[in-house]
Amino acid sequence: MSKHTLKTKLTAIDFYIHKQYSYKEAAELVGADRSDVIQWVALFKKHGEAGLESTYTKYSVEFKMEVLTYIEKTGASIREASFVFNIPSYSPVVKWRRNFQEQGLDGLYPKNRRTPEVKKNLNQKKDAGKTNEELVKEIEHLRMENAYLKKLNALVQTSRESKNEKKLK
């Protein structure tokens, strides 16, 4: 949902609420999906303009459990729960629910998303035991393999183009 500006969202809401356009018509006029407009209107009605602003919030495990418990106890849909708890998109709630069902409480804890450090000498260690002659042969082999793959790709592209031309005729 963050691909649309606040102005675009407000315009779509105005088309729907004040100008009596359908969700589909309002979505087409602003270049959005119908489901996005439905969600924007609901968020606007519940939380006002503040509900439309993009937020990059890290939700606590307790908050995630509160949302999932609310869904379980009230029978509310995931979209309804996201509106009630002012979560701008329902997709995180879908992910929380799936993770909770698959992994239990552990699935709600944030994952360590740091990428592992790259080992600098990994390739050097592999090549350390090879002679210059072996390395040159390997380079030649890799270059031939690369050239072969490029030619194969070109053949596939020409084959696709000829099929497309036949379809057009």
Task: Say how far apart CA 127 and CA 139 lie, in whole Å.
Answer: 12
- Using alpha carbons, list the distances in angstroms from residue 81 to 86, 134, 150: 8, 63, 51
In a domain, 140, yes or no: yes
Check whether residue 45 and residue 76 sit in a common domain: yes
Domain count, the chain: 2
In a domain, 114, yes or no: no
Q: Say how many C-beta atoms besides its own lie within 10 A of residue 148's C-beta.
A: 10
Query: With a threshold of 0.85, does the pTM exceed it?
Result: no
Check whether residue 52 and residue 90 sit in a common domain: yes
In a domain, 156, yes or no: yes
Check whether residue 141 and residue 60 sit in a common domain: no
Residue range(s) defining the domain that contains residue 48: 6-108
Domain's final residue, options 85, 108, 131: 108
- Residue 2: what pLDDT? 56
Q: Which one is predicted more confidently, 30 or 52? A: 30
Check whether residue 44 and residue 80 sit in a common domain: yes
- Using alpha carbons, list the distances in angstroms from residue 149 to 140, 154, 155, 162, 163: 14, 9, 10, 20, 21
Check whether residue 39 and residue 65 sit in a common domain: yes
For 103, phi then psi, to 5°, come to: -120, -5
Task: Say how far apart CA 14 and CA 22 lie, in whole Å.
Answer: 11
CA dihedral sign, ordered 95, 98, 103, 106: positive
Check whether residue 103 and residue 129 sit in a common domain: no
Mean pLDDT of the chain: 83
Question: How would you label 106-118 residue by residue, b for 16+ Cβ within 10 Å and e otherwise?
Answer: ebbeeeeeeeeee
In a domain, 66, yes or no: yes
- Residue 84: what pLDDT? 86
Check whether residue 32 and residue 95 sit in a common domain: yes
- Residue 105: what pLDDT? 87
In a domain, 1, yes or no: no
Q: DSSP assignment, residue 59?
A: P
Check whether residue 55 and residue 104 sit in a common domain: yes
Check whether residue 91 and residue 146 sit in a common domain: no
Q: What is the per-residue pLDDT across 128-164, written as a single tens digit (0 to 9) for each?
A: 778 889 889 999 999 999 988 888 888 888 887 777 7
Check whether residue 93 and residue 43 sit in a common domain: yes
Check whether residue 104 and residue 133 sit in a common domain: no
